[in-house]
Structure 1
């Protein structure tokens, strides 16, 4: 049995101070990932867990063309928000596809942004070769069963997949992360929040020890935009994506005026596809354009035998979501 100290923080500053000054401390919110990693899988052994669930970090509010989401807002509460339902279908669909109702009622938005990979090798301390868990030890996934792993941003050092559905939609929307630390408040665009695997797969994001995600700012789509999220998986219920895509288009007289596209199930981080967006903008909303965009979205994939099928599946996923969005009601 793992022994640890449990602390319930009453203010944001108190929580930040408690973790910042203790290198063996970690935050605890909804617990849908953290408790698995600590108590079930034994990947980490923090000596102190700082419970932040009582902090005043809940709620969704619309401020002009922006949706302000506090970090402890649950996935279910965000999916039920009227603005999300009416103006951000890609976010609502990603939330509903991301977890069962039971988990959505516990899992927080801040926790989802910080969700760790589901790589079986990372989550099994008995596997010695995991650069994400033990830098310099190698990557067992490259030569092992790797069907649920990444092909974009991957290398022989690490092919661990970023599993969040929500973050794919948020990256497409240029969401911004609000962070509180001992040095004060700062904001980071979500596209810059995650770090490429590179030489240090164990460094997943820009957070320093003790920094706390306090909220997410989600820009709303322009008037007339159509959007959606498509998740391809082995079964329809409670399963991680093999591939997924979030798309938002503004189409006028059959021509794409603005385009946003991001991919999931294929990247070491939620994967924005700017090359594909460039092809879409100014082009007719038709099959030829969509297929060209799909080709551009999957650039320089790194595959192993278990993941090679994802290249074509991801392209088909992109074409399908673009078809669906282009035909949807505004």
Structure 2
């Protein structure tokens, strides 16, 4: 690790200005992913701009439209256990609690969760090529050990996956991301925030170099009656998803009036299929219909050898999670069930 300066800005504007002073300056809030990248010699910050002490980013507040605003530096644990989140947005609470470990959730920030880098083995190994680290150098995962890798939305240049659990639930809930830059502010739907790799896999999201995430907004509808989060992984504690599914349903009897299904662990971003969700509308909430929806979601799925099993695993997970959403009490308390 290299020597670095440390700065505590007074507000967001000063934080952005401090970051723009040098191309090697970086924001830090919880630092749980940044420290990993640093230890593996993948980043070398010139100066750390600490946003964790900015009060304007550290609150959870109600909005006039009856939604809720999650400050970017609020810790994941504080978000998951917040009474309003547990009551109105339990899908988000369960997704957060399925991620990482209790110690990491106590440090990790909401904004940082959106910005974490891929956990591809080749990305973290600076001795091998990786298009995300060095554009144009190649993607050894395609013909290498790719068990954890993408089955949807991949490209010839990258088959890595985005590791967040929180963002899968945010996608199902239609959250929006509030961003502040040097000259303006903007709002980006969560579905548009992360990018598919294409031929520029080194660009993970739409955040510009002079911008910072200030908060995340949740709409009023939280699907608190019928929801489920399922994370399938190699071990129950502190493991990234092979496949994860966030399902939110609005039911009238056993008829689905609205469906949201977001998939994690399968692509460069949380994956949703509007076509599949529309297919489920006004249909009975049955295993057969969830199976048909899964086929729509996975119609373009492609394995790369070691991860071929993910296609069947994802289909079974979508079906199982849809049925679990009919009775949320069937889920284990505090965390998503694992296979």
TM over 0.5: yes
**Structure 2 vs 1, CA of residues 34 and 223 (structure 1 numbering), >3 Å: closer, same or farther?**
closer
Distance 2:12 2:224 in 1: 39
Distance 2:28 2:328 in 1: 40
Tell me by how many angstroms 1:140 deviates. 1.0
Tell me by how many angstroms 1:106 deviates. 0.3
- 1:101-120 mapped onto 2 (5 Å cutoff): 101-120=102-121
1:48 matched to which residue of 2?
Answer: 47
Local SS of the residue matching 1:13? helix
Name the TM-score, length of structure 2 as normaliser. 0.93
1:115-158 CA-partner distances (Å, limit 9, x unpaired): 1111111111111x211111111101111111111111112210
Distance 2:96 2:28 in 1: 21
Local SS of the residue matching 1:61? strand
Distance 2:141 2:326 in 1: 38
2:322 matched to which residue of 1?
Answer: 322
Contact 1:244–1:264 (Cα < 8 Å) also in 2: yes
Which structure 2 residue ranges, 5 or more long, are not aligned?
330-339
Contact 2:29–2:112 (Cα < 8 Å) also in 1: yes
2:76 matched to which residue of 1?
Answer: 75
Q: Does 1:279 align with 2:279?
A: yes
Distance 2:136 2:48 in 1: 28
Distance 2:285 2:190 in 1: 28
Which structure 1 residue ranges, 5 or more long, are not aligned?
none
Local SS of the residue matching 1:259? strand
1:219 matched to which residue of 2?
Answer: 219
Tell me by how many angstroms 1:317 deviates. 0.4
1:27 matched to which residue of 2?
Answer: 27
1:99 matched to which residue of 2?
Answer: 100
1:304 matched to which residue of 2?
Answer: 304
Tell me by how many angstroms 1:5 deviates. 2.1
Contact 2:155–2:199 (Cα < 8 Å) also in 1: no
1:215-262 CA-partner distances (Å, limit 9, x unpaired): 000113267741121000111111110101001101112210011110
Local SS of the residue matching 2:151? coil
Name the TM-score, length of structure 1 as normaliser. 0.96
* Larger CA deviation: 170-179 vs 46-55: 46-55
1:45-83 CA-partner distances (Å, limit 9, x unpaired): 222221112111112122233110000000110011112
Distance 1:306 1:183 in 2: 46
Q: Does 1:66 align with 2:67?
A: yes
1:240 matched to which residue of 2?
Answer: 240
Distance 1:310 1:273 in 2: 17
Contact 2:89–2:224 (Cα < 8 Å) also in 1: no
Q: Does 1:187 align with 2:199?
A: no
Q: Does 1:90 align with 2:99?
A: no
Local SS of the residue matching 2:216? strand
Contact 1:155–1:302 (Cα < 8 Å) also in 2: no
Contact 2:91–2:224 (Cα < 8 Å) also in 1: no
- The Cα RMSD (Å) is 1.5
Distance 1:91 1:74 in 2: 14
* Larger CA deviation: 87-96 vs 60-69: 60-69
* Larger CA deviation: 89-98 vs 40-49: 40-49
Distance 2:196 2:302 in 1: 14
Tell me by how many angstroms 1:289 deviates. 0.5
Distance 1:223 1:205 in 2: 27
